[in-house]
Amino acid sequence: MGDANMLTQLVTPLPALTPSQKAALEKAKKYAMEQSIKDILLKQTIQHQQQQMSSQQTSAQKQRALAIMCRVYVGSIYYDIRQETVRDAFAPFGPIKSIDMSFDPITQKHKGYCFIDYEIPEAAHLATEHMQTSQLGGIGRTIKVGRPSNIGQAQPIINQLAEEAKHYNRIYVASIHPDLEESDLRSVFEAFGKIVACQLDRDALGRRHRGYAFIEYDKLQSALDAISSMNMFDLGGQYLRVGRAITPPNTHFEMYLGTSNASTLPAAAAVAAAAATSKIMAQEAAKPLLVNQRVATNIVPGFNQVGRSSGINGGGLMIPPLAQPTAVMAANQPGVVTGVTPASGSSGFHQHTSHSAAKQSPTQSRVMVLHNMVNVEDIDDDLEGEVTEECGKFGAVERVIIYQEKQGEEEDADVVVKIFVEFSKVEESEKAISALNNRWFGGNRVTALAYPYQKYTANDLSG
């Protein structure tokens, strides 16, 4: 009997929960779900930030190492030798980014040395090898050429790049005649062996090459034979400079990008991805209970679209909105309009109504401005037509303006070239900006932006 009574007590159902107890239980479940989502978001955000910081640090170190590899020190320069003479002597080895020559403020003469920054490491390496015992200005004074002494922690990265370069049978060819093409180079250099790749770097619009190329052979001996035979070879009236490539193939593009090719998510995508993961986990955990499904739906609304969620209802966990990039406007400097295509349906510079201009915001304009696409020396009579043809892929181009903006009142002040392209529709301009922004042309990273339509119609091209 005792056992029977005990069994009866065990199978007796538990008392039903009161409404207040049910409400407390649901509140506890909801709180537990919110805390779980908070923890997942926090962990994934921290993990992403750590990965991004590590990637950025590695990229910064590599960029510093590449910058050092592009720099050449030149000493024992006679005081009468001008910077133009130095540039002419070192330009055959590759494109020069800048020359830093220090001057004495009292004597107004340089201090006998300078630093030359090339655009690619191979140019600096070749210049160092060839100019060691050279003279400038024909005065019988041998200059000193070497690499910077402040290498420091960049040396391991430089060594790593050199080791990676050894896996490729690549050579660097500089001082190529402007009239020669890749087919001409191939026909000359294929005499030493089978060519795997021949890359002749071109300018922003792909019209002219920039005087240097990389050639990769299938065998190392072919590359060595080409270097020994073709270095200082007169090809088309210019003496070629040929040397071994000291960086792997992808380095050339990484230098222009300024970052490594490591995969890093934008912050908005990372947060949204973490939120989406949290939602899936919450739904999976809540499937057995219908009430929990309702709670999960209330907790995580709208996380199926990346970057659209602004917060989590009911739990106090808010995802802060991303800061919008601030538009940086250039100083109002005098400029020169060097080319204007005829405006369709208009005889004046602008014949648009103020009503049309008022409808377009600075970020929704049918005018696009291209920065850093060409240099002053690249401007010619064909540039307008080529820009019109290229941008015509995105819509109807009504006008192209090539604007030269002087960055100061000094006679030798730098001149920035800006290209304004007016489309017939805002959608066409936005499509062009999306396709051309951050695109690389001949070593220049192009910036494509929407230009305020009201400033454009007011002939204000200083922005």
Least confident of 46-50, 250-254, 263-267, 400-404: 263-267
Higher pLDDT, 338 or 448: 448
Report pLDDT for 203.
Answer: 78
Q: Is the pLDDT of residue 52 over 70?
A: yes
In this prediction, residue 145 has a pLDDT band, given cuts at 50, 70 and 90, of very high
Report pLDDT for 345.
Answer: 43
Higher pLDDT, 268 or 246: 246
Report pLDDT for 1.
Answer: 54
In this prediction, residue 138 has a pLDDT band, given cuts at 50, 70 and 90, of low
Cα 40 to Cα 47: distance, rounded to the nearest angstrom = 11
State the average pLDDT over residues 363-377: 87
Q: Is the pLDDT of residue 290 over 60?
A: no
Higher pLDDT, 374 or 203: 374
Least confident of 251-260, 392-401, 429-438: 251-260
In this prediction, residue 255 has a pLDDT band, given cuts at 50, 70 and 90, of low
Q: Is the pLDDT of residue 21 over 90?
A: no
| Alpha helix (H) residue ranges in 110-201 | 121-130, 155-165, 182-189
Report pLDDT for 6.
Answer: 61
In this prediction, residue 247 has a pLDDT band, given cuts at 50, 70 and 90, of very high
Q: Which two tokens stand for residue 217?
A: 């052979």
In this prediction, residue 374 has a pLDDT band, given cuts at 50, 70 and 90, of confident
Distinct helix (H) and strand (E) counts, the chain? 14, 17
Higher pLDDT, 267 or 276: 276
Q: Is the pLDDT of residue 175 over 90?
A: yes
Q: Which CATH class is domain 335-457?
A: alpha beta
Least confident of 47-51, 214-218, 231-235, 237-241: 47-51
Higher pLDDT, 96 or 349: 96
Higher pLDDT, 327 or 446: 446
Cα 343 to Cα 384: distance, rounded to the nearest angstrom = 13
Q: Is the pLDDT of residue 272 over 90?
A: no
Mean pLDDT across the chain: 77
Per the document, the length of the chain is 463
Q: Is the pLDDT of residue 104 over 60?
A: yes
Report pLDDT for 46.
Answer: 83
Q: What is the 3-state secondary structure (H, E, C) of 185-232?
A: HHHHHHHHCCEEEEEEEECCCCCCEEEEEEEEECCHHHHHHHHHHHCC
- Ordered by start, the domain boundaries in the chain are 335-457
Report pLDDT for 154.
Answer: 83
Report pLDDT for 61.
Answer: 84
pLDDT tens for residues 3-13?
Answer: 666 656 656 67
Percent of the chain residues past pLDDT 70, beyond the cut: 71
Burial 266-286 (b: 16+ CB within 10 A, else e): eeeebbbbbbbebbeebeeeb
State the average pLDDT over residues 430-434: 91
Per-range mean pLDDT, top range of 62-66, 286-290, 336-340 = 62-66
Report pLDDT for 383.
Answer: 84
Q: Is the pLDDT of residue 288 over 50?
A: no
Report pLDDT for 440.
Answer: 76
Q: Is the pLDDT of residue 307 over 80?
A: no
Of 133, 115, 118, which is closest to residue 69 (Cα–Cα)? 118
427: three-class secondary structure by DSSP: helix
C-alpha dist (Å) from residue 327 to 362, 363, 452: 10, 10, 11
Report pLDDT for 305.
Answer: 36
